[in-house]
Amino acid sequence: MHIRIILCMFMLVSALSGYAQVKDSIKTIELESIEISSSYKTINKRNSTLSVEVVDENFLREHFTGNLIQALEYIPGVQSMDIGSGFSKPMIRGMGFNRISVTENGIKQEGQQWGSDHGLEMDAFNIEHVIVRKGPSSLLYGSDAMGGVIEISQPPPPLENQVFGEISLLGKSVNSTLAGSILLGIKKDAWYTKLRYSEQHFGDYRIPADTIIYLTQKIPVYNRKLKNTAGLERNVNLYTEYRKGKYYSNYNISNVYQKTGFFPGAHGIPDISRVQDDGNDRNIEFPYSRVNHLKITSRQKYIWDKTIGSWDIGYQNNHREEWSRFHTHYGTQSPPENNPDKELMFSLDTYSSSFKIRTIYNTAWEYTIGWDIQYQRNNIGGYSFLLPQYNRLTTGLSGIATWQLTQNFSFSGGIRYDYGTMDISGFVDPYLEKYLYNMGYDNGLITQYKQRSYAVNRSFSNSSGSAGLVWNPAYHHLFKTNIGHSFRLPGANELAANGVHHGTFRHEQGDPALDPENGWQLDVSYLYENENISFSVSPFASWFNNYIFLNPTGEWSVLPHAGQMYRYKGNEVIFAGTEILFSIKFLPQIKYSFTGDYVYTYNLDENTPLSFSPPASMRNSITWEMNKLQLYAELHSIAAQKRVAKNESQTQGTNLINLGGNIKITTGNRIIDIGLTLRNLLNTKYYNHLSFYRKVEIPEPGRNFQLLIKIPFNNKIK
């Protein structure tokens, strides 16, 4: 299916929605949704001792880019690790990769979180409700949530029986994006079902630069477009739920497919001839990646008098391939007979189960116990090598209690015990061994490099816990504090990888003897909120006695074109920082808001900051709103990041100007929502300190006009 098919479906839906009743039921549904969302925010903020941000449909629409994480970056404390113009992965308070869990319908999204060049495989059009939990969340979600959680959940179904749907169209100038999404659904008595299909096509994206530098070589950027960064995305999602009496169940099937080119000047061996303009900025040539993420989940829930039992189960297959013309950094390897240009392949199967029982003992006490188990198997392929083949099993038992001491004061705490095993297959590269021997290296060095994956079979166990309080001394004031102990099992790449990671332009080496991460984290927050003013401040501090990170050694790998050697190691480190949010409505139509965040990292063993530490940033924005028209202007200021790890480059600060507007147009019984944004108005050249492209001095995308159109419809049925 292609964009033109979506447009045909749009015309069909427009015709069907013409049979809707004369009464403007769309307005009624929007009002109900706003009421539920407001209550949802209040309940979650007051029930959690962590710093929590609840994101509703209006927020996601205002900041929509076709990329969920870039939208969430408007929340203080949340950063986006960008991968070109289309894909990103989350970072919360300076922690990312396997320290942040993303859950959808109760099941953790499992892909290749370990790599900074691997995006989040989710359909941004299909996301309407998000909760961001900042801080130690291992108690609730296991070891991979020590830095925080991004929870994606389904909005409540409409109250009345109806057929409903929505058409969304998106266009962006920076990479000539054409995207569309169609939603069709039905609510009938106890059943609620919806089907969504989305598709995006984008071309090579523009940058405000004429050259980049890769491995000391100056590479031109013709027409200021990064060649072969075009791509496409196709997503389908089917969701259905059933509610009857005390029983509830839902079922969800989704499939996300992405194909994206790599800029050839930053992949493999530098070659200026590979980046010459071919006259086509929408084709996808070698090298490129291809990802398919299949996910099947279900939730079963039953309510007794004072007890709620729920069971979440899921299966995922994350299949990633990277294709590049066969090349070898040492001439002793021959091309494979089958698929000679398949450079890498990862196929990760994940089976998940989570069982919870929540008991409301009385008006003062509430208890929750849970049991989680997950099994993973990762298979590999291709003529190159980095991540090994492995099997991973994790399981955990948790117990949480909440004590409502008074109406305005509550205390909660809990403990969790986790156990995990990791079985990693070893691999010796005979071609590399022969190459190093012919180059005259000694046996010790040959042994160190030829072992492309260390054989590891280890088990890990540890406990985690947290305790906190929520105090509401007056109607407009909310104070929360939480202290937690968390830990994380080391990943397969941290234990066993030993080779060139082209996505990050370095040689990465694991350590089979690594111990799990563990440490203590303190979180405090204060919120004041009334009709016109909102203010919150959230300081935090963390100490880890064994924090695993990639250490830039300053040594050069003996492998050709491998660059600097980075080794995984564990050190004693601290994190500290704060987030501030302030908004005021000083006229009926005008609102000013300010958000800012700062993260301080320090390696106590080496007396240096940690690598990939996000710089301080702040946003000042003014919004004018009247009737169905909204306009805003924003100044986004990013500080220079000069506190860097050894052998890590500094990043200069910048100021970006963003403009936007939104208008709702009523036509008959429909409300068409049109949003127009202009990002990076001055086409400023700047670098994202967290971007994996920064290593080769590729700046962030330039000026971008974006148009988003949403057309909902509904038709009541008996």
State the Cα–Cα distance between residues 204 and 249, nearest whole angstrom.
43
Average pLDDT over residues 342-346: 93
| pLDDT value of residue 449 | 86
pLDDT tens digits, residue range 236-290?
999 999 999 999 999 999 999 999 998 886 666 656 777 888 889 999 999 999 9
Q: How is 621-643 classified by DSSP, letter by letter?
A: EEEEEETTEEEEEEEEEE--B--
Does the residue 15 lie in any domain?
Answer: yes
483: closest CA among 519, 526, 535, 517?
519
Instruction: Report residue 20's pLDDT band, with 50, 70 and 90 as the boundaries.
Output: very low
Average pLDDT over residues 467-484: 94
Question: What ranges make up the beta strands (E) of 425-455?
Answer: 427-428, 451-453
| pLDDT value of residue 33 | 39
Average pLDDT over residues 214-221: 79
Structurally, the chain folds into a number of domains equal to 1
Highest averaged pLDDT of the listed ranges 70-84, 331-345, 350-364: 350-364
| DSSP3 helix / strand / coil % (the chain, rounded to 5) | 15, 55, 30
Does the residue 562 lie in any domain?
Answer: yes
State the Cα–Cα distance between residues 662 and 709, nearest whole angstrom.
10
pLDDT tens digits, residue range 603-647?
999 999 998 899 999 999 999 999 899 999 999 999 999 999 887
- pLDDT reading at 15 higher than 50: no
Provide the mean pLDDT of the chain.
89
pLDDT tens digits, residue range 129-171?
999 999 888 888 888 899 999 999 998 999 999 999 999 999 9
404: closest CA among 355, 356, 486, 471?
471
- pLDDT reading at 341 higher than 80: yes
CATH at residue 91: 2.40.170.20
| pLDDT value of residue 41 | 58
State the Cα–Cα distance between residues 686 and 663, nearest whole angstrom.
31
Higher model confidence: residue 85 or residue 123? Answer: 123
- pLDDT reading at 592 higher than 60: yes
Burial class (CB in 10 A: 0-12, 13-18, 19+), 334: exposed
Does the residue 223 lie in any domain?
Answer: yes
Average pLDDT over residues 93-116: 90
pLDDT tens digits, residue range 279-322?
899 999 999 999 999 999 999 999 998 999 999 999 999 999 99
pLDDT tens digits, residue range 683-715?
999 999 998 778 778 899 999 999 999 999 999
Average pLDDT over residues 169-193: 97
Does the residue 62 lie in any domain?
Answer: yes
| pLDDT value of residue 503 | 60
Average pLDDT over residues 646-662: 93
Are the beta carbons of 634 and 670 closer than 8 angstroms? no
By residue range, what is the domain housing residue 266?
3-713
| pLDDT value of residue 8 | 47
State the Cα–Cα distance between residues 463 and 465, nearest whole angstrom.
7
Query: Do you find a cis peptide bond into 539, omega within 30 degrees of 0?
Result: no
In Å, what is the CA distance from 144 to each residue of 123, 183, 420, 497, 568? 22, 33, 12, 19, 17
